[in-house]
Chains A and B, each alone.
Chain A
Amino acid sequence: MRIVIAEDNVLLREGLVLLLTSDGHEVVAVAGSGPEVLPALLEHRPDVAVLDVRLPPGFRDEGLRAAVEARKRLPGLPLLVLSQYVEETYAAELLAGGAQGIGYLLKDRVGRVDEFLEALSRVAEGGTALDPEVVSELMSSRRDPLETLTPREREVLGLMAQGLDNTTIAGTLVITERSVSKHIGAVFAKLGLPPSDSGHRRVLAVLAYLNS
């Protein structure tokens, strides 16, 4: 994949480049500050971009703003936003333009190389990758209706909201795909959501529910 990186910290930037090139990807551009991000994306039209939220010159949320702007200019451009901390609000802003091809993860997750690369390719293919911490924040703010779910159903809901497909959920929970489908059906029925197939529409329905 052709990838654009926006990260100001040299150590992390070099680490990311190393990680991505060793997995056979091509890093076509590296932006070190907020204002460089959009031109780099417009020029290179990458398969996916990895953006840090906090970038110079202001060290505030330049990366996030650039991501939101980029999605407006290049609809559907897959973006994976990384941050030292996650905020529900930021996730909501990123997802406002659609959950398709959006990832929002803690920087820590880079350490789990396989999972990180898996999330990156999921985003590049138009899927969603939401950090478990964002999902648990979302779920904790909708406590009451979620109490009707069994612990296992809550686990399945959380993994669905992160953007995982049935196969991965089954692998994570060490259960069969059949029982995953069964749990998902129960969750949708209990929350009063219309049944929907796997994929980003399902993520969207779950997130919309959690956010409402």
Chain B
Amino acid sequence: MIRTSVLRSAEATRYLAEGLRTVLPALLGLVLLIPGLIVMALFPDAVRPLRALADAERRRAGRRLGREIPAPYQGPDRPGKGHPRDRPSVLWRDIGWMVLHGVLGIEAAVMAIALWPTIPFTLSLPLWWWAAPEGSQSAFVTLDGWPKALTLPFLQGGLDLFLLLWLVPRLARWQALLAEALLRPTRRSSLTERVERLAETRAEAVEAHGAELRRIERDLHDGTQAQLVAVALRLGLADRRFDADPDAARSLFLEAREGVEEALTQLRTVIRGIYPPILSDRGLAGALRALAAGQPIPVEMDLTGDRVPAAVEAAAYFVVAEALTNIAKHSGAGHAWVAVRRDGARLRVAVRDDGKGGADPGRGSGLAGIRRRVAALDGTTRIDSPDGGGTTLEVDLPCGS
């Protein structure tokens, strides 16, 4: 019991002492506060040391509290990526934390460290107070006779012990809580950020959807429609020539039929591009199994049977189809693995192979197409393709609740 309490206090003292690494810079910042504010107004980059300090404390306090303290900064906050831009409230909260942390942190650290030697010193006073030069012992108690020497040191020692065992661990916790309260994003700022991010991805999604519609329109207009016009033309010509030259009319009929067949083939391709028919027949799992059956290499499947919205199923299907095409064409792999699972409101798709790796997401229309399609649904794409280490494609799609 006592042992664990002492250990707890020792650990808290270590935390507070270690805190001097952020406390002392904070005190320096406090001293330089006025000129610092002027510099920050002129050079936005001057905010970086303060951010670095606050980030260090976020990590330290987060470790102590056992939960991560996220930073409220937005925009480029890494060096060399433009100027930091934040709402003013974020800066003011950082400065407020710096002032409080500096002022309170130094006292907490000094007290926690000093308490340890104070206790044996005070408790041993009755043994040697008489030998010390007058007025030199103890900070708080002046001993001038035995009655005092046998009572006051024990009272003070008890108080010190109480402070050490009860207060010091709490001080460490309060310091971490102070950092969390002031340095994490406020509910308001995190909501604002979320709204901004959603507005951005939504605009991208609308743009991607528009591009998709234009592509379909172009395919139908330039392909199928043009083909059918040519067919109508041939039939019209065949009609005119029918009496005079039946042989020529016949060959026009045959050309017209070929034109129709060509149009049908193109139409099938367009339809597959919009929504693969096998998806509505068999669902995502069935469609993917059919896809795997047509691959030249064995594909292992681990699929969820859950139905998700049609747009998400279509995107997942295209991702896997495109990835398997890439694997067959470029990877030289002998095996592929496909996993699709539902994780709450996300559909996670992973396609892996044991091929030669080195896939470059920046090149090749396949991977670009995957990214575009996934981004349109506000999903994320991750490609890991070390040279000689196979390729892993991971796609994460939001799919409602």
Binds A, one of B31-39, B49-57, B263-271: B263-271
Contact check, B261 vs A108: say whether CB atoms are below 8 A apart. yes
* Least distance between A197 CB and chain B CB atoms (Å): 29
Contact A87 B290 (CB under 8 A): yes
Q: Give the segment of B130-138, B187-195, B274-282, B303-311 that binds chain A.
A: B274-282
Which residues of A lie under 8 Å from residue B257 when comparing CB positions? 111-112
Chain B contacts with A in 278-295, Cβ cutoff 8 A: 278, 280-282, 286, 289-290, 293-295
Whether the Cβ atoms of A140 and B272 lie closer than 8 Å is no
List residues of A whose CB falls within 8 A of some B CB: 53-54, 59-61, 84-85, 87-89, 92, 108, 111-112, 137, 140-144
A59-B280, A60-B281, A111-B260 are known contacts. Are A84 and B268 too (CB-CB below 8 A)? yes
Are the C-beta atoms of A85 and B271 separated by less than 8 Å? yes
Complex: how many Å from CA A54 to CA B268? 15
Asked if B296 is at the interface (CB within 8 A of a chain A CB), the reply is yes
State which of B261, B271, B281, B296 has its C-beta within 8 Å of the C-beta of A143: B296
- Return the chain B residue nearest A88 by Cβ: B294
The 5 closest A-B pairs by CB, nearest first: A89-B290, A61-B281, A60-B281, A108-B264, A141-B294
CB distance from A91 to the nearest CB of B (A): 10
| A89–B268 touching, CB < 8 Å | no
Q: How far is the CA of A111 from the CA of B282 in the complex (A)?
A: 28
Binding site for A on B (CB under 8 A): 257, 260-261, 264-265, 268, 271-272, 277-278, 280-282, 286, 289-290, 293-296
Chain B residues positioned under 8 Å from A59 (CB to CB): 280
A-B contact count (CB 8 A): 45
- Closest Cβ neighbor of B282 among chain A residues: A61
Distance, CA A111 to CA B265, complexed state (A): 13
Q: Are A144 and B296 in contact (CB under 8 A)?
A: yes
Q: Which residues of B contact A108 (CB under 8 A)?
A: 261, 264-265
Q: How far is the CA of A60 from the CA of B257 in the complex (A)?
A: 29
List 8 additional contacts besides A84-B268, A111-B261; criterion CB under 8 Å.
A85-B277, A85-B278, A88-B294, A89-B286, A92-B293, A142-B296, A143-B296, A144-B296
Across-interface contacts of A54 in B (CB, < 8 A) = 277, 281
A87 and B260 form a contact (CB under 8 A): no
Residues of A within 8 A of B295 (CB): 141
Cβ of B290: which chain A residues have Cβ within 8 Å of it? 87-89
> Separation in Å of the A71 CB from the closest CB of chain B?
19
A54 to chain B, nearest CB (A): 7
The closest CB in chain B to the CB of A112 belongs to: B257
Q: What is the CA–CA distance of A43 and B273 in the complex, to the nearest angstrom?
A: 41
Chain A residues within an 8 Å CB radius of B289? 89
Complex Cα–Cα for A192 and B277 (A): 36
CB distance from B8 to the nearest CB of A (A): 65
Residues of A within 8 A of B296 (CB): 140-144
Q: Whole-angstrom distance between the alpha carbons of A47 and B289 in the complex? A: 34
Least Cβ distance of B380 to chain A in Å? 30
Q: Which residue of B lies closest to A108 (CB)?
A: B264
- Closest residue on chain A to residue B264 by CB atoms: A108
Shortest Cβ distance from residue A81 to the other chain B in the assembled complex, whole angstroms: 13
Q: Show 20 A/B contacts (Cβ-Cβ < 8 Å), sorted by A.
A: A54-B277, A54-B281, A59-B280, A60-B280, A60-B282, A84-B268, A84-B271, A85-B277, A88-B293, A89-B278, A89-B286, A89-B290, A108-B264, A111-B260, A111-B261, A141-B295, A141-B296, A142-B296, A143-B296, A144-B296
- A85: which of B260, B268, B286, B293 is its contact (CB, 8 Å)? B268
Residues of A within 8 A of B264 (CB): 108
Task: Give CA–CA (A142, B293) in the complex, Å.
Answer: 11
Q: With A60-B281, A108-B261, A108-B265 given, is the CB distance from A89 to B293 under 8 Å? A: yes
CA of A111 to CA of B268, assembled, Å = 16
A61, A137, A142 pick with most chain B CB within 10 angstroms: A61
Q: Which residues of A contact B265 (CB under 8 A)?
A: 108
Instruction: Determine if B294 and A137 form an interchain contact, defined as CB atoms under 8 angstroms apart.
Output: yes
| Chain B minimum-CB-distance residue to A109 | B261
Most buried by A among B260, B264, B282, B293: B293
CB distance from A211 to the nearest CB of B (A): 9
User: In the assembly, what is the distance between CA of A60 and CA of B286, in Å?
Assistant: 12
Residues of B within 8 A of A87 (CB): 278, 290
The contact of B272 among A85, A88, A137, A143, by CB within 8 Å, is A85
Q: Which residues of A contact B281 (CB under 8 A)?
A: 53-54, 60-61
Distance of A142 Cα from B257 Cα, bound (Å) = 32
Min Cβ gap B207→A in Å is 30
Max chain B CB contacts within 10 Å: which of A59, A85, A142?
Answer: A85
* A111 to B264 CA separation, bound complex (whole angstroms): 11
Chain B residues near A92 (CB-CB < 8 A): 293
Closest B-chain residue to A86, C-beta based? B268
Q: How far is the CA of A143 from the CA of B260 in the complex (A)?
A: 31
A167–B268 alpha-carbon span in the complex (Å):
32
Which B residues are CB-close (under 8 A) to A144? 296
Residues of B within 8 A of A88 (CB): 290, 293-294
Tell me how far the C-beta of A95 lies from the nearest C-beta in chain B, rounded to whole angstroms.
13
Residues of chain B within 8 A (CB-CB) of A141 are 293-296
A144 to B296, CA, bound (A): 8
Q: Quote the shortest CB–CB distance from A51 to chain B (angstroms).
A: 14
Interface centre among B260, B277, B278 (most CB of A within 10 A): B277
Closest residue on chain A to residue B263 by CB atoms: A108
Residues in chain B near residue A143, CB distance under 8 A: 296
Closest to B269 in A: A85
Chain A residues with CB under 8 Å of B272's CB are: 85
Given the complex, which residues of A lie within 8 Å of B261, measured CB to CB? 108, 111
CB-CB < 8 A to B293: which residues of A?
Answer: 88-89, 92, 141
